[in-house]
C-alpha cells in the first residue's frame, strides 16, 4: 500500500512538472526571442541561448516608440482602477452580506447577472454614452467604466459571508457604526480576498487592449498594449522588439503577483469554500 501511494505521488509530480513546463514554455521562448534578430526567432530547432545576443533590442524599444509614456499611462490607469474596484467592491460586498434591507438579494442577483453579458454586446452603446459626456479620448472614460466590478463584489461577498455575524453585532453594541465596522473589522480581516482581487484587477487592467483602443487615439494618451502594435509596420513585424518590450511590460505584473501570492492562495481557498 505504501509503495502504491509513493508511485501515485511520483506520477502526480511528473504530471505537474510537465504541466508547469508547458505553461512556462511561451515565457521562456519570449525571453529568448527578446535578444535575437527577427530572422532567428522562428528558426528550428529553437536556439534557447543565442550565440550573439542582441541586447540592443532593449535599448531600441525606448527610442523607437514613447515606451516610457505608454508605461506611465498604463500604470496611472491600472493603479486608479485597482484602487476604485477594491473600494467599491468591498464596500458593496459589506452591504450585500451584513446589512439587511428590502430587495437586497434581488439587487445582488441582478448585479451579478451582468457577468453573463459579454462586454462586446454593449461596448458600442457604452462608447456612445462616453462620447456624449465629452469623455472620449480621455483616461477618465476608461477609469469610470472599470471602477466597478460585479465579479469583485461577488468574490468579496463570498469572503464576508464567512465572518461571523456575532462579531458585527458585538461591534454595534460597542457603539460602532457601519463605516467603522467596515474600516476597522471587515477590511483588516479580508486581506486574502483583497489581495486576490488586487491581482485579478491589476492584471486585467494592465493587459487591457480593446478598451484603450476604442477610447484613446492620441499617442500621448495610449497604453502599453496599444504601443506594442507600433512595432508592427505595414510590411513586417519587428518581433525582437515586440518580445523585448513584452518582457519589460511583464515585470510589474510579476512583482504584484509575487508580492501577494501568499494572500492570493488564501483568498482563492477562502472565497471558494465560504458563503
Task: Please state the rounded mean pLDDT for residues 7-21.
Answer: 87
* pLDDT computed for residue 78 by the predictor: 95
Residue 210 has pLDDT above 70, yes or no: yes
Domain that holds residue 100: 56-273
Tell me if 172 is assigned to some domain.
yes
Structure confidence by residue, pLDDT tens digits, 58-91: 988 898 888 899 999 999 999 999 999 999 999 9
* pLDDT computed for residue 76 by the predictor: 94
Rounded Cα gap, residues 270 and 116, in angstroms: 23
Top mean-pLDDT range of 100-104, 118-122, 150-154: 150-154
Structure confidence by residue, pLDDT tens digits, 156-196: 898 888 888 888 888 888 888 888 888 888 888 888 888 88
* pLDDT computed for residue 274 by the predictor: 47
Tell me if 205 is assigned to some domain.
yes
Tell me if 26 is assigned to some domain.
no
Global pTM value: 0.83
Kindly indicate the confidence band of residue 272, based on its pLDDT and cuts at 50, 70 and 90.
very low
b/e map of 103-124 (b: 16 or more CB within 10 Å)? eeeeebeeeeeeeeeeeeeeee
Contact between 86 and 194 (Cβ < 8 Å): yes
* pLDDT computed for residue 237 by the predictor: 76
> Which residues fall within 8 angstroms of residue 104, CB to CB, at 6 or more apart?
95, 96
Rounded Cα gap, residues 19 and 246, in angstroms: 23
Kindly indicate the confidence band of residue 273, based on its pLDDT and cuts at 50, 70 and 90.
very low
Structure confidence by residue, pLDDT tens digits, 237-253: 788 888 898 899 999 98
Say which CATH number the domain at 261 has.
1.10.3720.10
* pLDDT computed for residue 75 by the predictor: 94
Residue 275 has pLDDT above 50, yes or no: no
pLDDT above 90: percentage of residues in the chain? 17
Q: In total, how many domains does the chain have?
A: 1
* pLDDT computed for residue 82 by the predictor: 94
Tell me if 27 is assigned to some domain.
no
Tell me if 212 is assigned to some domain.
yes
Kindly indicate the confidence band of residue 235, based on its pLDDT and cuts at 50, 70 and 90.
low
Tell me if 3 is assigned to some domain.
no
* pLDDT computed for residue 230 by the predictor: 81
Tell me if 33 is assigned to some domain.
no
Round the average pLDDT of the chain to a whole number and report it: 85
Tell me if 261 is assigned to some domain.
yes
Amino acid at each position: 500500500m505504501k509503495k502504491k501511494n509513493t508511485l501515485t505521488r511520483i506520477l502526480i509530480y511528473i504530471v505537474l512538472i510537465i504541466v508547469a513546463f508547458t505553461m512556462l514554455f511561451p515565457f521562456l521562448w519570449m525571453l529568448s526571442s527578446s535578444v535575437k534578430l527577427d530572422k532567428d526567432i522562428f528558426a528550428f530547432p529553437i536556439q534557447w541561448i543565442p550565440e550573439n545576443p542582441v541586447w540592443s533590442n532593449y535599448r531600441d524599444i525606448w527610442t523607437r516608440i514613447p515606451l516610457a509614456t505608454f508605461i506611465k499611462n498604463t500604470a496611472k490607469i491600472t493603479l486608479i482602477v485597482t484602487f476604485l474596484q477594491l473600494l467599491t467592491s468591498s464596500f458593496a460586498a459589506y452591504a450585500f452580506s451584513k446589512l439587511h434591507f428590502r430587495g437586497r438579494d434581488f439587487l445582488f442577483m441582478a448585479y451579478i447577472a451582468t457577468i453573463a453579458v459579454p462586454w462586446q454586446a454593449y461596448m458600442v452603446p457604452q462608447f456612445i454614452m462616453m462620447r456624449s459626456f465629452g469623455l472620449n479620448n480621455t483616461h477618465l472614460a476608461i477609469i469610470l467604466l472599470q471602477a466597478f466590478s460585479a465579479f469583485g463584489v461577488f468574490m468579496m461577498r463570498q469572503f464576508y459571508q464567512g465572518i461571523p455575524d456575532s462579531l458585527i453585532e458585538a461591534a454595534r453594541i460597542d457603539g460602532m457604526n457601519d463605516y467603522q465596522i467596515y474600516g476597522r473589522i471587515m477590511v483588516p480581516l479580508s486581506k486574502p480576498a483583497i489581495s486576490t482581487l488586487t491581482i485579478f484587477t491589476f492584471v486585467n487592467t494592465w493587459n487591457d487592449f480593446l478598451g484603450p483602443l476604442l477610447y484613446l487615439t492620441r499617442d500621448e494618451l495610449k497604453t502599453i498594449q496599444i504601443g506594442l502594435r507600433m512595432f508592427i509596420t505595414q510590411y513586417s513585424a519587428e518581433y525582437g522588439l515586440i518580445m523585448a518590450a513584452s518582457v519589460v511590460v511583464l515585470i510589474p505584473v510579476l512583482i504584484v503577483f509575487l508580492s501577494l501570492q501568499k494572500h492570493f492562495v488564501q483568498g482563492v481557498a477562502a472565497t471558494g469554500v465560504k458563503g
